[in-house]
Amino acid sequence: MTIGAIIGYTVLALFLGFIAFLIIRTISARKPKPPESNYVPNDIDDTVVDNLVEAIKHKTITMPNNDQDGSVFLEYQAFLEKAYPLIMKNSTKYVINKYSVIYAFKGTESDSLLPIAILAHQDVVPAPAKDWGFDPFGGEISEGYIYGRGTQDMKGQMISALDGLEFLLREGKKPARSIYFCFGHDEERAGIYGAYEIVKFLQQRDVRFEFVLDEGGAIIDGKIIGINNKVALVGTCEKGYADVTLEVEKLGGHASTPTRRTAVGLMSQAVYKLEKRKMKPFFSEPVKEMFETLAPYMNPLFKFFIVNRRVFGWLLKRVLTIASPFTNCIVRTTIAPTQMFGATTPNTLPPVAKANVNCRINTGETIDDLTNHIKKVVGKNIKVTVRDGASNPSLVSSPDSPAFKMIGKTVYEVFDGFIMAPYPFIATSDSKYYHVLSDNVYRFTPFEKEESDANRIHGVNERLSVNMLKTATQFFIRLYENTCFDDFSVPKRKSLVSNHLY
């Protein structure tokens, strides 16, 4: 046998051995044992439906600033306090910055167990009646759906969370762990008057939470990633946020005698470049954790590539960035042009052209990384300014905490065996402020929605099915049972009196 043949066979043997190693690694990724459970679903009556219908009728539209008349928020809170008498009877109310509110429900063992925080925002985005098939603030029910602004974002979740605890109290059950309902009033404008002030208030009083739960991850059809089940994605963090203004100055004048390069033309070119030269994709730690959790449930082909992503990472990144907008945004910072401004009349060359790009910053990158990329792409002739309200990605909470596992157990029980996985929440929420109050801040919306419903959030004909609202209520009932009663797996920890507001 020649030396060349020996080398060839050696290379082949090494290659086959490497493939065998990858296959063995794939096979070794096995599904975890399902949690043991004695869960029996509760029968939920139409009270929760009636409460959401009434909640929708309160036009709690986000105010531009905190100096406006926000009496509608006070009326909304009065409705909540009437609708949930058992919660309110054992709660202390704290009004924060005029229109945000904390309802601190005292548990029977509040001196020895850290409380939990359930977040929701009272405010909703505007809903012009044009193009709606229903009154956006009418709370109308049609063919099994409740229509109205806020059904999904996020009065539906707020009402189901409150109804869940009220249900347990009506049955005579009393949670050992305290439950804080923290309801901001300006989440749709970054929560600077609401959630930020709530956190500052709690921080000044040394309040700590076992875990925090806010809106966030959705329930998706696992078939898009090779899983024959539904997957509940629970955010362990959220992407950063920035609105960036691009501005260029150029000689203006009459449109009949345009200059060689116009301000609008230069701005259009800059926006085009940003859409072509995107920031590089990469696997953040939360994405890696998501892959590790989901890989055992995938079909053999998907599983092979995901388990061996260190080898096939270059291919996976390319596939994910082109497969769908959702898979693209979980692996990279996104830059989306949303507004352009030029002349106020159609026959004028504007001396200044501006554009806004809305950016969602991937975990592991910063506002500085974003602005450096934008400046490099658009060139020195374009002024780049980060607008107020920008934030870096949040801290990342552990998917290994007892609290996270209990959320997963609750999902498995209530949603008939659905899988739960951590992931980086691609939008923003009030919860970004709460990491200073807890190591365990999670984001999950317990609604199994139809694909068409995704575009209804902030859009026309926003709706939520009656069945899904009732299932979400079951979710919160079971979450409280799993985490706020004596059987929660977190060891009891003696906490200082200052850990509570009582």
Residue 104 CB coordination number (10 Å): 22
Task: Give 490-501 pLDDT, tens digit per residue.
Answer: 444 434 334 566
Task: Give 358-367 pLDDT, tens digit per residue.
Answer: 999 999 999 9
**DSSP codes, 453-488:** GGGGTTSTT-EEEHHHHHHHHHHHHHHHHHHHSTT-
Whether residue 63 has a cis bond before it, omega within 30° of 0? no
- Angle, CA 396 vertex, CA 395 and CA 401 arms, to 5°: 135
Q: Which of 219, 179, 244 is nearest to 417 (CA)?
A: 219
Q: What's the token pair of residue 329?
A: 């945004």
Residue ranges in 205-338 assigned as alpha helix (H): 263-276, 285-294, 300-307, 309-323, 325-329
* Calpha distance 212→443 (Å, rounded): 8
Q: Which of 91, 59, 64 is nearest to 76 (CA)?
A: 59
Please tell me whether residue 367 adopts helix, strand or coil conformation.
helix
Question: Which positions ≥6 away from 313 have C-beta within 8 Å?
Answer: 283
* Calpha distance 378→353 (Å, rounded): 14
- Tokens 């008057």 label which residue? 193
Residues in the chain: 502
- Check: CB of residue 420 under 8 Å from CB of residue 461: no
* Calpha distance 363→394 (Å, rounded): 8
Q: What is the dihedral of CA 4, 5, 6, 7, to 10 degrees?
A: 50
Q: Which of 289, 231, 269 is nearest to 424 (CA)?
A: 289
* Calpha distance 363→420 (Å, rounded): 20
Amino acid (1-letter code) at residue 22: L
* Calpha distance 207→434 (Å, rounded): 11
Element housing 246 (H / E): strand 240-249
Q: Of the residues 187, 210, 289, 462, which is catalytic?
A: 187
- Angle, CA 438 vertex, CA 436 and CA 441 arms, to 5°: 105
* Calpha distance 333→358 (Å, rounded): 11
Q: Which fold has domain 47-223+229-233+395-499?
A: Aminopeptidase (3.40.630)
SS3 for 267-288 is HHHHHHHHHHCCCCCCCCHHHH
Q: What is the dihedral of CA 361, 291, 118, 196, to 10 degrees?
A: -20
Same fold, 47-223+229-233+395-499 and 240-279+337-392: no
Q: Of the residues 123, 163, 462, 481, which is catalytic?
A: 123
Please tell me whether residue 440 adopts helix, strand or coil conformation.
coil
Residue 123 falls in the annotated catalytic set: yes
CA 5 to chain centre: 57
Residue 45 falls in the annotated catalytic set: no
Q: Which of 198, 168, 197 is nearest to 181 (CA)?
A: 198
Class of the CATH domain delimited by 240-279+337-392: alpha beta
The sign of the CA dihedral 221, 224, 229, 233 is negative
| Residues of the chain falling short of pLDDT 50 | 487, 489-498
Q: What's the token pair of residue 138?
A: 């009418």
* Calpha distance 440→401 (Å, rounded): 8
**DSSP codes, 58-110:** S--BPPSSTTS--HHHHHHHHHHHHH-HHHHHTEEEEEETTTEEEEEEPPTTT
- Check: CB of residue 263 under 8 Å from CB of residue 248: yes
- Give me the residues paired with residue 152 across strands: none
pLDDT score, position 305: 84
- Check: CB of residue 426 under 8 Å from CB of residue 240: no
Question: Which positions ≥6 away from 7 have C-beta within 8 Å?
Answer: none
* Calpha distance 466→474 (Å, rounded): 13
Domains in the chain: boundaries: 47-223+229-233+395-499, 240-279+337-392, 281-332
- Tokens 């990605």 label which residue? 393
Residue ranges in 136-284 assigned as alpha helix (H): 155-170, 195-204, 263-276
pLDDT score, position 248: 95
Residue ranges in 341-462 assigned as alpha helix (H): 367-378, 402-414
The whole model's pTM is what?
Answer: 0.91
Pairing of strands 441-444, 212-217: parallel
Pairing of strands 179-184, 348-349: unpaired
Q: What's the token pair of residue 209?
A: 């939470």
Task: Give the burial class of 13: count Cβ atoms within 10 A of its Cβ; 0-12 exposed, 13-18 middle, 19 or more buried.
Answer: exposed
